[in-house]
Amino acid sequence: MEKLDRIKELVALLNKAGKSYYSEGQEIMSNYEYDALYDELKKLEEETGCVLSDSPTVNVGYEVLSELPKERHDSPMLSLDKTKDRESLRSWLKDQKGLLSWKLDGLTIVLTYENGELVKAVTRGNGQIGEIITNNARMFKNIPVTISYKGRLVLRGEAIITYSDFNRINEEIPETDAKYKNPRNLCSGSVRQLNNKITKERNVNFFAFTLVSADGVDFNNSRKCQFEWLKSQGFDVVEYKEVDKDNILDAIDWFEHTIVNNDFPSDGLVIIYDDIAYGESLGRTAKFPRNAMAFKWTDETAETTLKEIEWSASRTGLINPVAIFEPVELEGTKVSRASVHNISIMESLKLGIGDTIKVFKANMIIPQIAENITQSGTVRIPEVCPVCGGKTRISDVNDVKSLSAGMGLNDNIVFLGYRNDPQNVIQQVDSVALCSYTEGLPLTPIEAFAHGKPMIATPVGGTVEIVKNEINGVIVSPGNIDEIASSILDLACDKEKYLKLARNAEKCYYEEFSYEIFESQVLSLYENL
């Protein structure tokens, strides 16, 4: 364990030094010191067979995919039965020993190693079929890409993004509505990126919670032994405590008091029998395995008065109700607002201004309305969008009522809002429109051409230096909506024309705007000074 801890320490130190030198122009250690530490790391990796994904000894190439392939799991990944009652959990344990751990709130991933190498990573998906994200998993902050064990290893764990990274990423997004709602949603999007460079930048962490199989390894019929063995291979394992019927309540108390200081999201606890054979002998129901159970916190509630419903337009084009109420203290903090999510939930709660409501924090974090005691049902749904002023409409999708604006445009238009991954969006569209009234030298056409997408653009500023009418795109008049719409339809319907413009767009990028061309032009400029 000392060698593995030293590996993690060296990786962090060397990466910090590298970032400081190459990105910030500052040296925090001499070249001599850096080389000595690098050599020490390389030697330890050879001795242990453990190479972390972010090790400076590994040169990882980024890859952009068009889609994530899907795969059926060898065995279904079932959900866990749940309880909020501590005594029920104690009774379930009986006279057995168990391992009590955090129930991390992220995205479950299945990893497969062969001959000491990570060969496959698959998301949980619907429990039956998941998405293959192997390229992205190699970008996770703490996953070993190489381990000392050379047999076939299959394990499950949770991919998460810490609160500190979640806050950092949101701080970089200027638009309030474009910010991510919670770390789990951010993690899900990060893990499932088509461009694994973005996954790398998000600092996704992985914590193992189940060893499925490891050929030829004797774990002495103990889950704890499995956890410790995974640690010896370089994996971070979910934090756990050994429990029995005598100390389980104290252990739950410890987790409850600790959660407020955690930098990672969790939505409860998981207990599993340490005795592997005993747990597996219990079998499973149609929905749950019988060898483990989830524990959810009993939510602290408070009564308050509903002051108003704020209607918030989202980046998807929906207008969502937000309850504003008299501030109350929950889980050590004051809260005064909670999302109501959609019209269906608002109607089921029968909300009205002045109603007495009960609120709580889901998973001790997210404010929610638990109950409306008064149920006056007097809240009126706005007929006009608070942002655009357009007429609103109620749509019913899968028995969920949602409010949107724009005279039905929401059926055909997806409002993505601010995105920091335009390449992922561009590669999924047929063409790109830039309908500006003014421009300098825009980057949008260059980004579109890099992916072989023709442009529909207005002849303003430097746009005309890039987009050539009927060669790599279509030029339209600024503000002429009919002309813009007609050009979009023309490219969508005329396949031969579209393919010609797309080929020329990609050719233009590689001949005029690629990094290689830019590099040669800059060098030529300096050489001719």
Q: Is 103 an active-site residue?
A: yes
Residue partners of 468: CB distance under 8 A and separation at least 6: 504, 508
CA-based nearest residue to 95, from 240, 273, 228: 273
For 15, the 3-state DSSP assignment is helix
| Kind and range of the H or E run holding 126 | none
Show the beta-strand stretches assigned E in 152-191: 153-160
CA distance 3 to 7: 6
Task: Return the DSSP state at 259.
Answer: G
Q: Give me the half-sphere count of Cα atoms (radius 13 Å) on the Cβ side of residue 90.
A: 11
- 395: tokens are 């749509």
Distance of CA 34 to the CA centre of its chain: 34
Task: For residue 93, give the amino acid letter.
Answer: L
Give how far Cα 465 sits from Cα of 435, 443, 468, 480, Å: 16, 12, 8, 21
Task: Return the DSSP state at 62.
Answer: P
CA distance 194 to 109: 16
Give the length of the chain.
529
CA distance 197 to 139: 8
CA distance 242 to 462: 66
CA distance 86 to 124: 28
- 142: tokens are 């703490």
Is the separation of the CB atoms in 178 and 418 below 8 Å?
Answer: yes
Is the separation of the CB atoms in 501 and 494 below 8 Å?
Answer: no
CA distance 468 to 499: 15
- 8, 84, 94, 103: which one is catalytic? 103
CA distance 346 to 398: 16
Q: Give me the half-sphere count of Cα atoms (radius 13 Å) on the Cβ side of residue 413.
A: 12
**β-bridge partners, 319:** 313, 403
For 244, the 3-state DSSP assignment is coil
CA distance 39 to 470: 57
CA distance 345 to 393: 17
List residues with catalytic annotation: 103
